[in-house]
Amino acid sequence: MDLFIRKFVINDSKTSRNHYFRIIFRIKYKNNTTPRFMTTRRKIYTSLLILFLFANSFTAFATATKKTTDPEKDKVLIYVLKNILTRGHFVEKDLNDDFSEMVYKGFIDGLDPSKRYFTQEDLKEFSQYKYEIDNQLKDNDLTFYNLVYDRFLEKVKNAKSYYGVLLKAPFNYKKDETINMDFEMIPFAMNNNELIDYWRKQMKLNVLSRIQEQQDLQKDKLKKDPTFKTKTFTTLEIEARSEVLKTMNDLYLRIEELEHEDWFSTFLNSVVGAFDPHTTYMAPRIKERFDQDMSGKLEGIGARLFKKGIYTEVSELVSGGPARKQGGLEAGDTILEVAQGDEEPLDIVGMRLDDAIKFIKGKKGTEVRLTVKKKMDGSTKIISIIRDVVELEETFVKSTIVEKNGKKYGLIDLPRFYISFDDANYRDSAKDMEQEIERLKKEGVDGLLIDLRNNGGGSLKTAIEISGLFIDEGPVVQVKYRGEKPMVKSDTNKKTQWEGAVVILVNELSASASEIFAAAMQDYKRAIIIGGNQTYGKGTVQSVIPINNFYPNYEADLGAIKMTIQKFYRINGGSTQIEGVYSDIAMPSRFSYMKFGERDMDGALVWDKVAQAKYTTTDSYDNFADVVYHSKERIADNERFQMINEYAKWLKENQEDTNYSLNYKHFVKDSEVKEKEVARFKEIFKFDSKLSFTSPKYELPLLKKDSTLNDKRAYWHKNLSKDLYVAEALNVLSELKMKSKNEVVKN
């Protein structure tokens, strides 16, 4: 959702580039102590000179300290990061006791998210530094880090004996006891005895889950083959304990392979993450992965992954990738195990991201089975994906035509606000949108439906230019740096590419640049926004800065920092941060009651507002309010939407229900109850609008030549005809009536 920022900020915006020169640091020495950083604001040529002097001064300092003290890489990173953040981050944050407490909690949670290692006795010892970390950071002192890290290594070493002993004999499956898997809410164990009991319950739950999984598989096989010989509970229990033991052994082999850099990165991310959740430290290996992702070298399943503590999570599904097309996997899901076809699954918890990706990748046509914990309801599911090459063509703008009530309408799918920063002649989303609209105009369409669902953002430049296709000219978005007045970014092209009716379809995963475009169209009253209750709510801008830029003579690669430097604001003055864009017409979805989006991220920057930009609404429609009212009535009366709303409430309840019975009979019964509840909602998304979607005329010769493209379009058109949300958006579009040109108030 924020990956486009790196090159845009550095290469594409003169204002952003000049601002970076303005926050270059001037060094003053005082009594031979660590240099202090001070902000300087001068004309651009002066800033360039300061940048050169800064680099040389910092080099001199680094050389001097190396000779006298030979500072460790860890202290170098702390020193550079704290100064970059305190001077360059959007939020001016003091390194004080509150900050110290956030780092304290972040580091401990980062090392021990499942509360398997530390006890309250450990925390009592750690807490002496709870409000001292800020002072230690100022002095480049790593006492707190070293204490916690050393204790963590000791605890990890002890863990093998815990689970090894616990898994030697069967558990008492008749005992009435429960386990709470909401690790954020449960307290740390009081002492070592209670910690071992935590381990016992977690191992018991793992065994129970495997037993039930195998029993379900046996039932399925027995239905297909009545002669199939089932295994007894005792046999399944022994096998389950053996599998859990193997999984745990594999996990701790991988943990032992982790290097100091991996754990220190966790500490650094607790420091930088105390500024906001999108500010992260990238170790050299992670930075390399980021660069590959930006260059379009995507994984074999078409998913962007990231490391969260010891877990591998899905951040985004790539349009055109097999995971997106085949369904099942979603953003926010946690991948626990990876299996190649019918082979035994490999537990990847605790594995390095690079290593985990190696197992998820594979040749086109091969199967990978992912065991995932679903973000939506916390359930564990096995998702089979047939690997394929991620088709870049599918990430570009495409359109289709549909007839409704005797009129033709164009639907444009915009999966991302893409642009090439290296090749000005390469296609970008703004040029493609303009061309697609022109083609649809030639087809005689009466309105446009623009699909922004799951569009995680992209280039701000193209978002502004695409907005300009629907208005004469005027402001589109406001961008603000820390301590400065907002800058208004405007469309300056007086040409309006499309003057007809526009409906924009969004969901809770529409983010960043998507929200800028949707907000601008809403503020101008140029389009009706329909979809989820509100979009994702990411209204911040990040820039990726190589740390060696600030320490040029340091031989080792220090990695990079992705830092929040700007905030977006609508032309009406409100930020898109947290709030996102509220739909004019909200339709129930699976996400309706879930903790989802920027508003549910710890430490997210707050919503605020600035002065409204000068703009005039287009006042394009004769019946805007009536169309919105009638659609809301239809949705409220629609039984399918009512069921989706019930399903969303059920998902919310299950997200909050984190208690599991460890009594075998109760465990199985609870699982059966959940399965029945899920079955109740099985049919709610099965829908057929009976609408027929066809490719524009220009594309028909291409489909005849390219059978693969023809199959893709057929698949897309079939899905659109079964899309309840598209159907209602087209109802809205078909009802909109434009004002005559004499009535419309021009900008």
CA distance 533 to 213: 37
Residue 364 belongs to a domain: yes
The whole-number pLDDT of residue 70 equals: 34
The whole-number pLDDT of residue 746 equals: 45
Distance of CA 138 to the CA centre of its chain: 32
Q: Are residues 305 and 421 in the same domain?
A: no
Q: Are residues 21 and 151 in the same domain?
A: no
**Reduced 3-state DSSP string for 669-693:** HHHHHHHHHHHHCCCCCCCCCCCCE
Q: Are residues 430 and 513 in the same domain?
A: yes
Residue 92 belongs to a domain: no
Q: Are residues 519 and 420 in the same domain?
A: yes
CA distance 327 to 313: 16
Q: Are residues 580 and 656 in the same domain?
A: yes
Q: Are residues 353 and 402 in the same domain?
A: no
Nearest CA among 471, 659, 654, 668 for reference residue 571:
471
Residue 281 belongs to a domain: no
Q: Are residues 246 and 342 in the same domain?
A: no
Q: Are residues 182 and 305 in the same domain?
A: no
Q: What confidence tens digit (pLDDT) does each residue in 671-686 have?
A: 889 888 888 898 998 9
Q: Are residues 498 and 409 in the same domain?
A: yes
Say if residues 436 and 411 touch (Cβ distance below 8 Å).
no
Q: Are residues 190 and 331 in the same domain?
A: no
Write down which residue in 386, 417, 444 finishes a domain: 386
> Within the chain, which residues score under 70 in pLDDT?
1-72, 288-299, 309-310, 319-320, 390-394, 421-425, 742-747
Residue 617 sits in a domain whose CATH number is 3.90.226.10
Domain residues for 490? 392-553+565-735
Write down which residue in 359, 386, 413 finishes a domain: 386
Q: Are residues 399 and 362 in the same domain?
A: no
Residue 371 sits in a domain whose CATH number is 2.30.42.10
Residue 559 belongs to a domain: no
Q: Are residues 449 and 540 in the same domain?
A: yes
The whole-number pLDDT of residue 392 equals: 62
The whole-number pLDDT of residue 421 equals: 63
Residue 525 belongs to a domain: yes
The whole-number pLDDT of residue 290 equals: 62
Residue 484 belongs to a domain: yes
What's the number of domains the chain is made of? 4
CA distance 390 to 303: 10
Residue 470 belongs to a domain: yes
Q: What confidence tens digit (pLDDT) does each residue in 289-322 have?
A: 665 554 344 557 888 887 776 688 888 787 668 8
What is the length of the chain?
747
Q: What is the pTM of this model?
A: 0.80
CA distance 372 to 390: 21
Query: What is the full DSSP assignment across 67-108?
Result: HHT---HHHHHHHHHHHHHHHHSSS----SHHHHHHHHHHHH
**DSSP tag of 623:** S
Distance of CA 619 to the CA centre of its chain: 36
